[in-house]
Amino acid sequence: MTKTTHETEEPQKSTLDNEEQELYENYRFTVDRGQETMRMDKYLQMRIEGVSRTKIQAAAKASCVLVNDKPAKSNYKIKPLDVITILLPTPPREIEIIPQNIPFNIVYEDDDVLVVDKEAGMVVHPGYGNFDGTLLNALAYYYNGKTGKDGNPITPYLVHRIDKDTSGLLLIAKNEEAQVVLAKQFFDHTIERKYNALVWGDFADDSGTIDGNLARSTKDRRVMAVYDDPEVGKHAVTHWHVLERFGYVTLVECVLETGRTHQIRAHLKHIGHPLFNDAMYGGDQILKGTTFTKYKQFVTNCFQLLPRQALHALILGFEHPTTHKQMHFESPLPDDIASVLEKWRRYAVSAQIDTSQPDAES
């Protein structure tokens, strides 16, 4: 929670991690003692740089604006010493999005939302080292010249992200109101997100929970690490459940209670089960199995067949921002992961590995 500030100061904000980047900001400040009465939406527009009154009104409608810890409407008349908090999507970075004709797989689309089944290898948004060829570039081309239900040009808004080499379902908002409503759902952790992951090693139990704060590693800033100190990093919780055992590797389902940068990858690495072929977290080495040349060649062949981390965003569920209908989508496992799983099934049978026992070795 951010510290309270006064009207004569700039309101402080805390940035909240979502799937791979910070996408939401939580502002909190106290109205000055000498403040005259005015509508809350007008006051907030004056206090928060670059935020439209429409977006503030959408935030209030989605219960993202609290006055003295209670939801408030846009026309609420502020009073001295009122404590106001507002959750808003982070303003987009000043990066020119060049429309590019790049194919992508649309699972569902209506006036408010777009659900995409992202292929592995596609970067979601432009950034350092990836200034084009991203999903946002593809969306800019797809929506170029199209108008939304309000008659204005459609502007796609990210409400979460997944890594370049992670495949699966991604949710896009098509207008500011939908963006704010979906932001609240992510902030409240009411979005349903399930991943399938192939990891090294076996588990003693069939299910469990990983609860550990995540922050950038002090040894390698590219990766996230788990910290016991509650003052370090962001709180993160991952629930896992074993789906299939192969002795040396295991297929697990991961359910995100929170959404932090590299959360599944870092959490599973922390408990000794890095994702299969996740080079950034050490999963691109042979971590379990025999010393036989034939086995090493088998794993190498699997790495070649699946040249990325074995992680797929399988299920996405949310409440529609306008109709309030519960939406549910499921993406089949992509060919590269499905093929490697089939190879492991055949290998476990041919090698007569006892997949009912944890940490099987031969």
The Cα 226–Cα 213 span in angstroms is 5
Is residue 109 pLDDT above 80, yes or no? yes
pTM comes to: 0.84
Catalytic residue set: 163
The residue extents of the domains of the chain are: 12-89, 105-186, 192-350
Eight-class DSSP state of 281? G
pLDDT confidence bin for 227, thresholds 50/70/90: very high
Cα 22 off chain centre by: 9
Q: What is the mean pLDDT of the chain?
A: 88
**Residue 68's CB: how many other CB atoms inside 10 A?**
11
The Cα 299–Cα 228 span in angstroms is 34
pLDDT confidence bin for 358, thresholds 50/70/90: low
pLDDT confidence bin for 176, thresholds 50/70/90: confident
Which numeric CATH code is attached to 12-89? 3.10.290.10
The whole-number average pLDDT for the span 179-199 is 92
The Cα 122–Cα 133 span in angstroms is 8
- Which option is the CATH number for 105-186: 3.30.2350.10, 3.40.50.720, 1.10.357.10, 3.30.1360.30? 3.30.2350.10
**Higher-pLDDT residue of 46, 200:** 200
* Residue 127: strand pairing partners: 130
pLDDT on residue 11: 46
The Cα 95–Cα 190 span in angstroms is 30
- Contact call for residues 287 and 47 (beta carbons, < 8 A): no
Query: Does this chain's domain 105-186 share its CATH topology with 192-350?
Result: yes
What fold does the segment set 192-350 form as a domain? Pseudouridine synthase (3.30.2350)
In whole angstroms, how far apart are CA 305 and each of 10, 187, 202? 53, 37, 22
The Cα 185–Cα 321 span in angstroms is 9
The Cα 248–Cα 297 span in angstroms is 15
pLDDT in tens, 132-172: 899 999 999 999 999 999 888 999 999 888 999 999 999 99
pLDDT on residue 3: 32
User: H helices within the chain, ranges in order?
Assistant: 40-47, 53-61, 135-142, 176-187, 263-270, 293-305, 335-350
Percent of the chain's residues with pLDDT above 70? 90
The Cα 305–Cα 303 span in angstroms is 5
pLDDT on residue 189: 86
pLDDT confidence bin for 313, thresholds 50/70/90: very high
User: H helices within 62-107, ranges in order?
Assistant: none
pLDDT confidence bin for 311, thresholds 50/70/90: very high
Eight-class DSSP state of 299? H
* CB-facing half-sphere around the CA of 166: CA atoms within 13 A: 25
Determine whether 249 is exposed, middle or buried from the number of CB atoms within 10 Å of its CB (0-12, 13-18, 19+): buried
